[in-house]
Structure 1
Amino acid sequence: MSGRTQWRWMMDCAMEQDLRWRFSDEEIALTPSRVAGVSAEEETSRVRAAARLIADAGVAIRVEPVAIGVSIKFLQRFFMLESVTSVHPLEVAPACLFLGCKCQEQAVRAQDVIQSTFKLRTRCAEFPEGEEIMVADPRFFDEKQALLKAERDILRVLNFDLEVRHPYKYLYDLVSSMHGNQSPSNNLISKQIMLVAHCILNDSFSGTDVHLRFDERDIAAVAYYFAAKCIPNCELSSGTYRDATGARHKAWHEFYTSDMDAVEKIGDAIISMYKQDQEKDQRQVPAG
């Protein structure tokens, strides 16, 4: 098998595995939680709170964004098969982060995961920054046992299927192609687009369910579009420009032959996410 043939075979296998974890609107409307009588709003609130816990704890212990995204995808997949009434998402979140780091071969100690997530989970009036838990604390052993048990439960529910496609690589290839085949680190506009688009993708994992519903290439294309719109002097290719040789430059949505209906839905979900965050911030601003 030639190198190119092997690469295409690996890509086809990854695509097939990813399709197994892509859900329709009808399937999302009939999750185990909905069947158990939990409202859509309550289920979404619980799962997204756990996703934010993963994101915040991951940043605190310097986990790479890709590993954080993979961890949140494990969480979302888990609750497509299990109800939030049988296990609280906040109890599963630390194990998802621990497992996601393992899958991305990022060395993270169980102790760091436990301490960071425990601190975030225990924020209250008495402990505004959260409570510290030391290894010598009797509660630490219980937390560690709960982490390992939850990890086994995740592996069982997901049937050890830990293959995850993420949008970051697709974003890099798209930006490189759209801006002169230069590495984004060597091109100022490309670098700016990558920074903004990365932030959008990071937020999309914990603030939307688009990674359960759509192709990661389409999500990367939407993140690129929004990021490019934010960068001054950055022109999006419309697909009509031709260079001196007569070759036509592809439009941004043609690079991965994106499904425009999916692109529109992804865009709406991301816009809605930021609008909700903005409204939440406005409600928290004290009057007067």
Structure 2
Amino acid sequence: MDELESLNGADEKLWLFGKEDIENSPSREKNIQSSTERRIIASCARFILEVGAALEVPQLTRCAAIKLMQRFYLMESMSRHSPPAVASACLFVACKVQECVKRLRDVIYWSIKIKTRSEQFPRGEDLLEESSRFQAEKKLVLLKERDVLRVLNFDYDVDLPFKYIIQLVKLYGTSAEQQKDLIQYAWNFVNDSLLTSIHMEYKEMDIATAALHLAMLYSNHELKKVPETGKPWYTHYSIDPKTMVEICNRMLEHYDVEV
């Protein structure tokens, strides 16, 4: 099955959270400041991307792991669950679900290697499978895997914006060069947005539409109108224009600009 199509988001609406839920997350209730929580979430997302890249995990699987991690921390506090271990566990689970299974020892190896790259281990003791550090990390990741499965109630359905971006560009794009540019710009905006809580708050098809709107602004490309109705292309998924602008501005927060 094509990887894009295998990311089934039929029950995605069950995992959308309101702003109040996010502002009163379990970590916030344990007196972890919002800025600290956001920084840790972003750090965990980067960690998943980096470990996944080292393991040659497909991009979409890495993104799915990030969403599982974000869901987990809207149900459980960071004070109870080590973020790096949860991140590694979510990547391990996502690999199983997306049928790109990686050996646990390889996940542990690269997790330790990336976490400790600033430390000095001239003989590589930390990376030997029989070492106490390796075994302790393995035990912790397996424990967090069970926690992730329990907290998420074995629901691994994850939707992502990428397939919607491709569909919109193919439907309303013009030249092949324009389509390539728009997809690249939109994917870049989506990748950056995975460091935030946007994907916990909005439907992925709405995020895709917003990312493509930004892609048009920054690439100076235009998409065609809907042939049957003459309406703008962004009406394809019936998104409220205000919601689209809201998502765009959320995406651009890191760049300190607005649309």
RMSD across aligned C-alpha pairs, in angstroms?
A: 2.5
Residue among 164, 178, 197 paired with 2:186: 197
Equivalent-residue separation in structure 2 for 1:79 and 1:131 (angstroms): 32
Residue among 32, 40, 48 paired with 1:54: 48
Amino acid at match of 2:193: S
Structure 1 residue 125, shift from structure 2 partner? 6.1
Amino acid at match of 1:218: D
Task: Name which of structure 1's ranges 144-153 and 106-115 shifts more when overlaid on structure 2.
Answer: 106-115
Equivalent-residue separation in structure 2 for 1:134 and 1:259 (angstroms): 54
Whether 1:228 and 2:203 are equivalent positions in the alignment is: no
Partner of 2:3: none
Equivalent-residue separation in structure 2 for 1:115 and 1:26 (angstroms): 38
Task: Name which of structure 1's ranges 138-147 and 165-174 shifts more when overlaid on structure 2.
Answer: 138-147
Residue among 241, 265, 276 paired with 2:246: 265
Amino acid at match of 2:243: A
Equivalent-residue separation in structure 2 for 1:154 and 1:91 (angstroms): 11
Partner of 2:118: 124
Equivalent-residue separation in structure 1 for 2:19 and 2:108 (angstroms): 34
Amino acid at match of 1:264: V
User: What SS does the corresponding residue of 2:144 show, helix, strand or coil?
Assistant: helix
Whether 1:97 and 2:91 are equivalent positions in the alignment is: yes
Equivalent-residue separation in structure 1 for 2:180 and 2:42 (angstroms): 29
Amino acid at match of 2:184: L
Number of equivalences = 249
Equivalent-residue separation in structure 2 for 1:274 and 1:131 (angstroms): 41
User: What SS does the corresponding residue of 2:235 show, helix, strand or coil?
Assistant: coil
Report 1 or 2 for greater relative contact order, CA contacts < 8 Å, sequence distance ≥ 6. Answer: 2
Gaps in structure 2 of 5+ consecutive residues: 1-7
Residue among 62, 69, 91 paired with 1:75: 69
User: What SS does the corresponding residue of 1:135 show, helix, strand or coil?
Assistant: coil
Equivalent-residue separation in structure 2 for 1:158 and 1:97 (angstroms): 14
Q: Deviations over 1:59-109 (max 9, x none)?
A: 222211211111011110001110111112122110011111111111322
Partner of 1:40: 34
Structure 1 residue 176, shift from structure 2 partner? 0.8
Given the two structures, how large is their TM-score scaled by the length of structure 2? 0.87
Given the two structures, how large is their TM-score scaled by the length of structure 1? 0.79
Partner of 2:203: 215
Equivalent-residue separation in structure 1 for 2:222 and 2:201 (angstroms): 29
Equivalent-residue separation in structure 1 for 2:54 and 2:231 (angstroms): 40
Structure 1 residue 248, shift from structure 2 partner? 4.3
Equivalent-residue separation in structure 2 for 1:177 and 1:116 (angstroms): 40
Equivalent-residue separation in structure 2 for 1:229 and 1:38 (angstroms): 37
Q: Is the 8 A contact 1:122 1:131 kept in 2?
A: no
Q: Is the 8 A contact 1:60 1:116 kept in 2?
A: yes
CA 1:56–1:249: 2 relative to 1, 3 Å: farther
CA 1:227–1:195: 2 relative to 1, 3 Å: same
Partner of 2:15: 21
User: What SS does the corresponding residue of 2:153 show, helix, strand or coil?
Assistant: coil
Equivalent-residue separation in structure 2 for 1:52 and 1:261 (angstroms): 30
Q: Is the 8 A contact 1:92 1:150 kept in 2?
A: yes
Amino acid at match of 1:28: I
Equivalent-residue separation in structure 1 for 2:114 and 2:206 (angstroms): 33
Whether 1:176 and 2:165 are equivalent positions in the alignment is: no
Structure 1 residue 267, shift from structure 2 partner? 0.9
CA 1:78–1:131: 2 relative to 1, 3 Å: farther
